[in-house]
Amino acid sequence: MQNPSESVATSNITLAAGDLYVSPGGSASNPGTINSPTSLANALTQIAPGKTIYLRGGTYSFSQTITIERGNSGTSGQRKNLVAYGSEKPVLDFSAQSFASTNRGLQMFGDYWLVKGLEVKGAGDNGIFIGGSYNRLEQIEAHHNRDTGIQMGRYASTAAKSEWPAYNEVIRSYSHNNYDPDDGEDADGFAAKLTVGPGNVFDGCIAAYNVDDGWDLYSKTDTGAIGAVTIRNSIAYANGATSDGTSTSNSDGNGFKLGGEKIAVNHIVENSIAFNNKKHGFTYNSNPGSIQMKNNTSWNNGQSNFAFDVGTHIFTNNLSFQGGASDKTSGTDVSSTNVWWKNKKSENAKGLLASAADFVSLVPSVTRSADGTPVLGNFLKLAGGSDLVGSGTPSGTNIGAR
């Protein structure tokens, strides 16, 4: 199996007065010009709304968390921007941190930031933690952190629910090989859990080889329901162990974990794919609400491809094939457009059945394009002659994600 490319490119650069430049050797005493770059920590405190911090390529080694403080924000019309310079690749390396819940890599407590084209690795906890709102992350690679690669949650335990992070977007990003060394049950690829507000979105992202889950949307009784999260055009595979096989008995290995502690939250998952995960592909994880599951494909997961034991979930055009256990599908089968895997065989209320012949390829292949978009080639793509092509709703829509 191919691993997604770690190479991403940014758009053409338009230089403007007030932009700042940072390099691995930059000094806080420098003015932040392209010929005399400043430090990242200094640039974050100096940049004005509508302006851009350009990170030159190379490795930035940190032993302490880099924080965008609460109140350090752009506006709805003028974000603050932290982006890779051209096609260069800045790597924020926090490997010098010790393993501790306070040792995050990049901590974002401000609002209206764009962070684009960075690699973040080795943090003692989360690679990137988002505690602010209306932020946008694009083309991020987070890996080998000692908790979840990219996570959203309240900025402090004293934060009111109205201050929980909301309306953040994580776009075309890749989180892999995150592992917590104490028990191997916390480090996910992406998480919007415990204390997040409404409107958070993951689009075009990949989670792979994380020791726990690909995505975790856990709600907890102590803090109550989180806001509904939307996941679309995303892929979770081979979660439950890192790429070198490291795992523990506590490592769950779900592709998309969509709940917790029997708290109802109506998340939305569309056009997404789960395969080769240790446990379930998509799981309600005790969420008894009405999760909207539309045009998703789940294949060859260790247990159920779709595990929705309880609830009034809404299923439209989903495709399951060759799961390790029968699907559990509590809810509405919209227009009988879902093809499930139950009792070791394909099942559909209208008699549509899936077989290997319905796919162009069942050989896993996942890469990334230059802008970070997942590329699967023919993997899990419906074959031209498949009766699953055009059999969804609305009429002419395919069943599954491809």
The string of pLDDT tens digits covering residues 85-109 is: 999 999 999 999 999 999 999 999 9
Q: Token pair of 75, please? A: 């506006």
Q: What is the span of the domain harbouring residue 192?
A: 20-375
Q: Which residues contact 147 (CB under 8 A, 6 or more apart)?
A: 101, 123, 125, 126, 178, 180, 186, 187
- Sign of the torsion angle spanned by Cα atoms 84, 66, 22, 177: negative
Instruction: Identify the three-state secondary structure at position 44.
Output: helix
- Going by pLDDT thresholds of 50, 70 and 90, the confidence category of residue 346 is very high
Any residues with CB less than 8 A from the CB of 395 and at least 6 apart, and which? none
**Which ranges of 193-293 does DSSP label H, i.e. alpha helix?**
none
Residue 284, in any domain of the structure: yes
Q: What is the rounded distance in angstroms from the CA atom of residue 66 to the CA atom of residue 86?
A: 22
Instruction: List phi, psi (to 5°) of 334.
Output: -60, 120
Select from 178, 195, 153, 152 the least CA-distant residue to 251: 178
Contacts of 336 (CB under 8 A, 6+ apart): 348, 349, 350
Domain membership flag for residue 5: no
pLDDT (tens digit, 9 = 90+) per residue, 67-90? 999 999 999 999 999 999 999 999
Residue 10 lies in a domain: no
The lowest-confidence range among 5-19, 125-139, 293-307 is: 5-19
Neighbours of 50 (CB within 10 A): 15
> What pLDDT, on a 0 to 100 scale, did the predictor assign at position 9?
34
Note whether 168 and 135 are within 8 A (CB): yes
Do residues 32 and 22 make contact, with C-beta atoms less than 8 angstroms apart?
Answer: yes
For 222-250, write each residue's pLDDT tens digit. Answer: 999 999 999 999 999 999 999 999 999 99
Average pLDDT estimate for 166-183: 98
Distant-in-sequence, close-in-space partners of 385: CB < 8 Å, separation ≥ 6: none
pLDDT value at residue 14: 52
Q: What sign results for the dihedral spanned by CA atoms 191, 119, 156, 100?
A: positive
Number of domains making up the chain:
1
Percent of the chain with pLDDT over 90: 96
Of 80, 121, 193, 257, the catalytic one is 257
For residue 11, pLDDT over 50 is answered with no
Q: What average pLDDT is seen over the chain?
A: 96
Nearest to 37 by CA among 78, 90, 96, 107: 90
Strands 306-316 and 282-283: parallel
Asked whether residue 399 is assigned to any structural domain, the reply reads no
Residue 353 carries which DSSP code?
Answer: -
- Overall average pLDDT of the 41-59 stretch: 99
In a domain, 28, yes or no: yes
In-domain check, residue 39: yes
Query: How high is the pLDDT of residue 361?
Result: 99
Domain membership of residue 58 (yes or no) is yes
Tell me, yes or no, if 257 is annotated catalytic: yes
Whichever domain contains 290, its CATH number is 2.160.20.10
Q: What is the rounded distance in angstroms from the CA atom of residue 375 to the CA atom of residue 212?
A: 24
Query: Is there a domain that residue 402 lies in?
Result: no
Q: What is the pLDDT of residue 17?
A: 81
Q: E strands along 189-278, which residues?
A: 190-192, 200-203, 206-208, 215-216, 229-232, 235-237, 256-257, 268-270, 273-275
Q: How far is CA 209 from CA 8, 112, 118, 214, 312, in A?
A: 20, 30, 20, 8, 31
The total of other beta-carbon atoms located within 10 Å of residue 357's CB is 9
Please tell me whether the overall predicted TM-score, pTM, comes out greater than 0.75 for this model: yes
Residue 14: half-sphere exposure toward Cβ, Cα within 13 Å? 3
